Amino acid sequence: MEAKTSLLDNMIGVGDMVLLEPLSEDSFLENLRKRFDHNEIYTYIGSVVISMNPYRSLPIYSPEKVEEYRNRNFYELSPHIYALADEAYRSLRDQDKDQCILITGESGAGKTEASKLVMSYVAAVCGKGQEVNKVKEQLLQSNPVLEAFGNAKTVRNDNSSRFGKYMDIEFDFKGDPLGGVISNYLLEKSRVVKQPRGERNFHIFYQLLSGASDDTLEKLKLDRDFSKYNYLSLDSAVVNGLDDATSFRTVKNAMQIVGFMENEVQSVLELVAAVLKLGNIEFKPESRCNGTDESRVKDKNDLKEMCELLGIEQAVLERAFSYRTVEAKLEKVSTTLNVAQAYYARDALAKNLYSRLFSWLVTRINESIKAQTKTRHKVMGVLDIYGFEIFEDNSFEQFIINYCNEKLQQIFIELTLREEQEEYVREGIEWTNIEYFNNAIICDLIENNQNGIMAMLDEECLRPGTVTDETFLDKLNTVCAEHQHFESRLSKNSKFLNDHSLPHSCFRIQHYAGKVLYCVEGFVDKNNDLLYRDLSQAMYKANHSLIKQLFPEGNPAKVNLKRPPTAGSQFKASVGTLMRNLQTKNPNYIRCIKPNDKKAPHIFTESLVCHQVRYLGLMENVRVRRAGYAFRQAYEPCLERYKMLCKRTWPHWRGPARAGVEVLMTDLQVPSDEFSYGRSKIFIRNPRTLFSLEERRRQCLQDLATLIQKIYRGWKCRTHFLLLKKSQIVVAAWYRRYAQQKKYQRIKSATTVVQSYTRGWQARKLLRELKHHKRCEEAVTTIAAYWHGTQARRELRRLKEEARRKHAVAVIWACWQGLKVRREYRKFFRANAGKKIYNFTIQRIMQKYFLGLKKTLPSMSPVDKNWPARPYHFLDTAHTELSTIFHLWRCKKYRSQFTKEKKAVYEEKLEASELFKDKKSLYPSSVSQPFKGDYLEISKNPKYQKLNSCVEEKVLLADVVNKINRANGKGATRILLLTKKNVVLADQKTGQVKASVALPDLTSVSVSTQNDGFFALKLKEGSASAVKGDFLLSSEHLIETITKLHHIGSTASDDGEQLNIDISDEFLVQFKQDKVCVKFIQGAQKNGSSVSCKRKNNRLLEVSVPASA
């Protein structure tokens, strides 16, 4: 694993200012500059981190960096904000100490980014899991929401926090986050209605107009053009590096992750739109008859749209802008508002509406991210609050912001010194108090309850009579005139009365960060922060759900005549609570410094940085750290780092770490006054001593490196030699093996050749012997064959001679017998010769006839009509009878092969023949076609499952037919089902039954003689099926359909009557009450022509059938 560099290794400049030598303001600034130029933006002052804003992205915040600093000692690696975050997190997790991270600095110094980095690091190193990841994601995503509504572009910072934020992140005993609580301090709500030149309003206004969809803007009654809204500054509406449209999508996504509902997001956007609309409302003066001035709204369109957004009656809000009601005990006085007062009321409403919306957002986020368990939690607080501000025009907001920074500076000095003292006491080290500037006197000037500036401002706001900013300044001049940190034209600290740098309406305070000139104009109004009761009540009457929550004081049933607390007193109480909270936690400091005012990278303005170093008290902090001991380190890492400097501790020390350090320091002869031993750490007084140790360590490391190189090279050479030796042995062994293999191959080859010659000689010798033996055997066989042949020929000649003799005897005997027979026959020939010859001849002819018939019988097919021709006329009767008998026998044999189903099919074919043969032109083409019956496979096809379930009996025929419409002669596709009891017609697409006819209600079926598929089902008059009349149908399987109808109709008839089949080219069909004649004519044969049906008149349908080819 790669070794990590420590605070003292390969450092650019000095990583810890405590070790800076010599220590002066110039060397301090030069060290900061040197590190800044090399992108080293973090520097330590002991445990305090100085952060320089680089104004650009640096590759030092990757996941690899997070892992590098995870669970590392604070000084183990180079300075980084991750080191401080890790130290705080581990102290909270392992030592059960509540932590707080205080991030301070000027506006634009990078405080907000620093707080994000701290939170992202803690989120990365703590535990994993679905619930933990959800909590971490909600905590991180709360930042974009609060930045959009609470940050704005200023002349010093493009993303300046215009509110103070303190987040307490709560952890369980394992160090996993459970939730958090956010506190906000003093939103700069005056920015809503007015922005200084070169600055913008809050980000959310520009993000909404740039990033919302057209539909959203239409619902909110907004336009994308910034120039149409009086509350938006135009000279800085677009900021380089800020994509408002993308930011808006990020904010909406963050709100969903945090837990905002869709209706809540919409309500928030409606209130933002209402603030923009509110700024466009303008007033005109009107004079009343009694001479008083009053105001009226100029253009009521924006007022109307705002009222529609918030659900307020237009007349109610318009009156609230024109009149003010003052209540005193039981009396109510209503006065008119002039134009200036109306504009004041409008702006006050806009500021209060936005400020209360922001507070509601913080409360809503807290509800989502708060810890669910009620057990004790460990807490890490992160404070990101506005920095010290010095503008050209400093007002009430800058006054209380700088007051907050004074309090933070005070707690920083106290806690830093206290921490230093506590460490020396804890380690048993002697300590001498160090003098430092304590800004408690400035805090007392501002917050003293008796004669502090804020107390006098509250007193001035509450006293009866005429109260103005000038009377407040007069009071300050009276009470604070002798205070050494307060200056005005009338105070004793001003150098001369005609000092033009100090106007009459201003006062100056010497803060820890420098002198700030405050203009008292607006102090009283901003401290009062009044919203007329009429406007509160008008807001409470809104139908908008969120508005009622934001203005509870507008409820008429809860009217409170008590004056609300002033803005200054509320902020003072909040700061006091914050300070008490911080003092209960272990502090960790990040001091942010802005390198230049141009917000540009690579620029280091020394005067600006020097000013910040001074007012942040960084030099005093270094001196406090160096007053006792400049460097301290635990015994274990100290011994590990310097053990190579002493032979007794190198390479391993077996005893306690402190004893090893003591041996080391004694052996190095370090003066005893340069260091002290604490309980767990060694303290080094002078940085030069530390640098001397580092120099010795560096030299020793070089010597050790040389030794290691020497040993390594020797080992490498020996290893190489042994490898060569081993390789030579291996090569020799392989060569000897190869040589022996080659020798063995030669011997083996020679042996094979000798063996092959020997085997060849033996084989040839054996072959010669076999051939000689074979010739001997063949000679014997040939001689024997010749001898046997001779013997056989002799015997054959003998047998032939004997046979000739026997044949001669037989011939002579036959001639003798024939002579005797002829002599006897001649005696009786004349009496019986004719009859016998006749009978013999007939028998021979019949025998020949039957044998010939056997050979010429026709095939066994019953339809084969061939029969052999008779040979003689006298056999006519026998020949015919035999033909009949053979045909009957052949039919019987053929019928014996039939199954029951096939027999029924042929019976139907026979019945069709009886019905249509020589009567219907379509019949011959149907003879060769088998009767299938169920052409639709209705029981198997899922499409007709519903139709099949409607039919109870077995389906004998299922086919698609066309039902002819009498109105136009066109056909509608139907499904025809035939069962033993019914004829069913159903819709082909839906399967819905259109008609069901019981077979007994069917009287006859009419068809034509032509080559068409039309047929008419005629129903009994008066039957239930005959309500709509007869059915005229067309089918491609007409012969089968009519045959099955005829066969089943005869069976289903109650009286046994057969169904009448009427075959005619004209027949009548009953359609409801009318009878229509259907006439069939023969048309000309055309390409692609088919049977067509046309309506000629109300009483005639003409069917044109193409002539057969």
Reported as a single tens digit per residue, the pLDDT across 483-518 is 888 888 776 555 444 556 678 888 888 887 778 888
What's the pLDDT at 1109? 44
- Split at pLDDT 50, 70, 90, the class of 4 is very low
Residue-wise pLDDT for 1000-1044, tens only, equals 888 889 999 888 888 888 888 877 777 778 888 898 888 888 888
Distance of alpha carbon 284 from its chain centroid, rounded?
Answer: 55
CA distances from 507 to 142, 491, 498, 524, 568 (A): 39, 9, 14, 15, 18
Whole-angstrom distance, CA of residue 969 vs CA of residue 1092: 8
Backbone angles phi, psi at 684, to 5 degrees: -110, 125
Radius of gyration of the chain, Cα coordinates, nearest whole angstrom: 61
Per-residue pLDDT of 809-820, as tens digits, reads 888 888 888 888
For 327, 453, 461, 515, 535, the CA distances from 563, given in Å and listed in that order, are: 12, 20, 11, 34, 16
Averaged pLDDT, 96-117: 86
Residue 460 has pLDDT above 60, yes or no: yes
39's enclosing H/E stretch is none
Q: By the 8 A CB rule, do 275 and 229 touch?
A: no
User: What confidence category does residue 1089 fall into, taking pLDDT thresholds of 50, 70 and 90?
Assistant: low
Local structure of 209: helix, strand or coil? helix
Residue 727 has a pLDDT of 93
- Positive or negative torsion for Cα 168, 169, 174, 178: positive
Please report how the helices 567-583 and 453-462 are oriented relative to each other, as an axis angle in degrees rounded to 10: 150
pLDDT at 641: 81
- The confidence score (pLDDT) of residue 432 equals 66
Strands (E) across 128-207 are located at 151-152, 160-161, 164-171, 177-185
> Do 887 and 859 form a contact (C-beta atoms < 8 A)?
no
Q: What is the pLDDT of residue 767?
A: 93
**How large is the angle between the packed helices 244-258 and 130-150, nearest 10 degrees?**
140
Residue 1000: closest CA among 1045, 935, 1062: 1045
- Residue whose C-alpha is closest to residue 201's, from 210, 213, 211, 189: 189
- Residue entry with tokens 């307490």: 168
CB 1040 within 8 A of CB 982: no
Q: Kindly tell me if the per-residue pLDDT of 832 is higher than 50.
A: yes
- CA 355 to mean position of chain CA atoms: 36
Residue 882: helix, strand or coil by DSSP?
Answer: helix
Does residue 133 have a pLDDT over 90?
Answer: no
**Residue found by looking up tokens 């581990």 in the block:** 90
Written as one letter, the residue type at 436 is Y
Lowest-pLDDT range, 218-232, 730-744, 828-842, 1059-1073? 828-842
Omega of the bond leading into 22 within 30 degrees of 0 (cis)? yes
pLDDT at residue 572 tops 50: yes
Residue pair 260/146 in contact (Cβ under 8 Å)? The answer is no
Average pLDDT, integer, range 13-23: 83
**pLDDT digit string, tens, across residues 329-361:** 556 777 888 888 888 888 888 988 999 999 999
Average pLDDT over residues 149-159: 85
Residue 3 reports pLDDT greater than 50: no
Closest CA to 542 of 554, 533, 560: 554
- The candidate with the shortest Cα–Cα distance to 158, out of 81, 80, 64, 236, is 236
Annotate 262-273 with DSSP letters as a single string: HHHHHHHHHHHH
Question: How buried is 323 (Cβ within 10 angstroms: 0-12 exposed, 13-18 middle, 19+ buried)?
Answer: middle
Averaged over 721-739, what is the pLDDT? 94
**Exposed / middle / buried, residue 392 (Cβ in 10 Å: 0-12, 13-18, 19+):** exposed
185-217 residue pLDDT tens: 878 888 888 888 888 999 999 999 999 999 999
Query: What gap in Å lies between CA 122 and CA 103, rounded to an integer?
Result: 16
| Average confidence (pLDDT) over 1057-1082 | 84
Rounded percentage of the chain residues whose pLDDT exceeds 70: 92
Provide the 8-state DSSP code for 565: P
Q: What is the pLDDT of residues 896-906, one digit of tens each?
A: 877 877 777 77
Give me the pLDDT at residue 787, please. 92
Chain-centre distance for alpha carbon 935: 52
Secondary structure (3-state) at 987: strand
- The band of 32, judged by pLDDT with boundaries at 50, 70 and 90, is very high
Write the DSSP assignment of 66-105 as a string of letters. Answer: HHHHTT--TTTSS--HHHHHHHHHHHHHHH---EEEEEEE
pLDDT at 1054: 61
Is the pLDDT reported for residue 795 higher than 80? yes
Average pLDDT over residues 588-616: 88
Distance CA 1084, CA 1108 (A): 9
Report the catalytic residues: 107-108, 112, 157, 160-161, 387, 389
**For residue 565, what pLDDT band results from cuts at 50, 70 and 90?**
confident
Measured CA to CA in angstroms, residue 1004 lies from 64, 103, 1099 at distances of 96, 106, 21
Determine the Cα–Cα distance for residues 249 and 212; give it in Å rounded to an integer. Answer: 8
Q: Mean of the pLDDT values across residues 957-973? A: 84
Put the strands of the sheet holding 675-677 in their side by side order: 631-634, 681-684, 675-677
Does residue 285 have a cis bond before it (omega within 30 degrees)? no
Looking at the DSSP bridge assignments, the partners of residue 636 are: none
Question: What's the CA gap between 545 and 114, in Å, rounded?
Answer: 37
Q: What is the mean pLDDT of residues 21-50?
A: 89
Residue 386 in this model has a pLDDT that exceeds 80: no
Contact 973, 960 (CB under 8 A): yes
Contacts of 601 (CB under 8 A, 6+ apart): 54, 55, 56
Q: What b-and-e string marks burial along 498-517, b requiring 16 or more CB atoms within 10 Å of the CB?
A: eeeebeeebbbbbbbbeebb
**C-alpha angle with apex 123: 119 to 125, nearest 5 degrees?**
120
Q: What is the pLDDT of residue 722?
A: 94
What CA–CA distance (Å, rounded) separates 659 from 654? 10
CA distance 1093 to 966: 10
The whole-angstrom separation of Cα 670 and Cα 664 is: 9
Beta bridge partners of 592: 51, 105
Q: With DSSP H G I counted as helix, E B as strand and the rest as coil, what are the percentages for the chain, rounded to 5?
A: 50, 15, 30
Of the pLDDT bands very low, low, confident and very high (cuts 50, 70, 90), residue 560 is low
- The answer on pLDDT for 2 being more than 50 is no
Residues 6+ apart with CB under 8 A from 522: 395, 396, 469
Residue 604 has pLDDT above 80, yes or no: yes
Q: Please report where in the chains the tokens 């001479």 appear, as a residue.
A: 291
Judge whether residue 784 has pLDDT over 60.
yes
- Give residue-wise pLDDT tens across range 1091-1103: 888 888 778 888 8
Mean pLDDT score, 519-534: 81
| Whether 689 contacts 630, CB under 8 Å | no
First to last CA, the chain: 99
Yes or no: say if 43 and 30 are a contact pair by the CB < 8 Å rule. Answer: no
Average model confidence (pLDDT) for the chain? 83
Question: Which residues lie below 8 Å from residue 1064, measured CB to CB, with a gap of 6+?
Answer: 1006, 1008, 1009
Per-residue pLDDT, 758: 93
Residue 479 pLDDT more than 50?
yes
